[in-house]
């Protein structure tokens, strides 16, 4: 639990308004914690304290000084860096060094999560022999899922009924999964993981996070951006997530704990293609709700 070092605290009170759970108050000798059990260990109080008085059970050594303004990327350069990243589907057979994968994992570790739960669990798979086995299990699972979806689509067409919303977005996928399955069975072409040398899966235990989808999204985004800085490419593979929902054998092979839900997976490796242009996107769909300064009235 959090505590305040009375000898360090100078009673400046800077930590009190910054506390997320509002459990800090100014005592006679120092700032005081009114309800330690409510602390989520976000560290905001320690980050603003000029004397470093807040103490946590673990991780105190990680509260290093923040970078100087000169170390922060220029906004225009940072935006170009974000636009530089593309989903990679052409990988070199070159293995990804473990040290680089560990740097990528650390980037995910420091991502913000809802309530600072930090509930994301990671599975890393490297080496094509293992990834080939995963591919074989996955394409079988996707084929089964495709058959089930196609049955619903055929029934809706026969009865002239609208396609249920949960199937409408996947109506084109049975044909895609059949193509992936044929390519794997007939030619051993990996059109699912794209012959990548490494794979990362992010999963969460039920009840461990209040916002698991958002948490995994942020964690994975920081990881793939770190990969970009290391000269590596990546690609989210939602098809693999769906395959794990269909195949218990695949989940067992991946050693996913019972009950854990896989929220995101992405391949990782060195590019076998050079992109010469940044990404383009559709125009933003934005509604601005603005008020006059000090009035708060939308206009």
In angstroms, the CA 264 to CA 128 distance is: 20
What pLDDT shows up at residue 296?
Answer: 59
Backbone phi and psi for residue 87, each to the nearest 5 degrees, phi listed first: -70, 125
- CATH number of the domain at 3-62, please? 3.30.70.20
Over residues 184-220, the pLDDT tens digits come to 999 999 999 999 999 999 999 999 999 999 999 999 9
pTM higher than 0.75 for the full model? Answer: yes
Tokens found for residue 126: 């490297």
Nearest of 280, 115, 293 to residue 211 by alpha carbon: 115
Q: Going by DSSP bridges, is the β-strand pair 121-126/198-204 parallel, antiparallel, or unpaired?
A: antiparallel
Contact assessment for residue 142 and residue 239, using Cβ atoms and an 8 Å cutoff = yes
Burial class (CB in 10 A: 0-12, 13-18, 19+), 7: exposed
CB 247 within 8 A of CB 141: yes
Each residue of 123-157: pLDDT tens digit?
A: 999 999 999 999 999 999 999 999 999 999 999 99
Domain spans in the chain, listed from the N-terminal domain onward: 3-62, 89-299
> In degrees rounded to 5, what are phi and psi of residue 169?
-75, -10
Is residue 297 very low, low, confident or very high in pLDDT (cuts 50, 70, 90)? low
In whole angstroms, what is the distance from residue 60 CA to residue 39 CA?
Answer: 15
* Cα(15)–Cα(5) distance, integer angstroms: 13
C-alpha–C-alpha distance, residues 126 and 269, integer Å: 10
Nearest to 112 by CA among 236, 229, 237, 218: 218
89-299 fold: NADH Oxidase (3.40.109)
pLDDT tens-digit readout, 56-111: 999 999 999 999 999 999 999 999 999 999 999 999 999 999 999 999 999 999 99
- pLDDT, position 271: 98
The pLDDT tens digits of the residues spanning 39-59 come to 999 999 999 999 999 999 999
Share of the chain above pLDDT 90, in %: 96
201 forms bridges with which residues in the sheet? Answer: 123, 265
Q: Cα–Cα distance between 56 and 29 in angstroms, integer?
A: 19
Q: According to the model, what pLDDT value does residue 294 have?
A: 58
pLDDT attached to residue 292:
79
Q: How far is CA 143 from the centre of its chain?
A: 27
Residue 2 in contact with residue 37, Cβ under 8 Å?
no
Q: What sign does the dihedral 109-111-112-114 (CA atoms) show? A: negative
φ/ψ of 31, rounded to 5, equals -65, 150
């Amino acid at each position: 639990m959090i505590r305040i070092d009375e000898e360090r605290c100078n009673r400046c009170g800077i930590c009190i308004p910054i506390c997320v759970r509002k459990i800090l108050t100014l005592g006679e000798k120092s700032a005081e914690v009114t309800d330690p059990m409510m602390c989520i260990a976000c560290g905001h109080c320690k980050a603003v304290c000029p004397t470093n008085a807040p103490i946590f059970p673990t991780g105190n050594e990680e509260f290093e000084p923040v970078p100087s303004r000169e170390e922060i990327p220029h906004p225009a350069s940072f935006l170009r860096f974000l636009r530089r990243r593309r989903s990679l589907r052409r990988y070199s057979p070159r293995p990804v060094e473990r040290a680089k994968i560990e740097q990528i994992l650390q980037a995910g570790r420091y991502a913000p999560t809802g309530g600072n739960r930090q509930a994301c669990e990671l599975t890393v798979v490297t080496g094509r022999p293992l990834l080939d086995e995963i591919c074989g299990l996955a394409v079988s699972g996707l084929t089964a899922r495709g058959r089930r979806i196609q049955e619903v689509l055929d029934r809706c067409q026969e009865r002239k009924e609208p396609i249920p919303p949960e199937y409408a977005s996947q109506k084109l996928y049975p044909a895609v999964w059949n193509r992936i399955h044929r390519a794997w069975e007939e030619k051993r072409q990996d059109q699912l993981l794209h012959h990548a040398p490494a794979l990362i899966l992010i999963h969460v235990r039920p009840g461990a996070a209040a916002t698991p989808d958002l948490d995994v999204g942020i964690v994975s985004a920081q990881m793939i951006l770190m990969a970009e800085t290391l000269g590596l490419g990546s690609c989210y593979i939602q098809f693999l997530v769906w395959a794990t929902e269909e195949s218990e054998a695949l989940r067992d092979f991946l050693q996913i704990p019972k009950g854990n839900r896989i929220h995101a997976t992405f391949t990782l490796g060195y590019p076998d293609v050079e992109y010469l242009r940044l990404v383009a996107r559709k125009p933003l769909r934005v509604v601005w709700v603005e008020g006059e300064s000090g009035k708060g009235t939308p206009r």
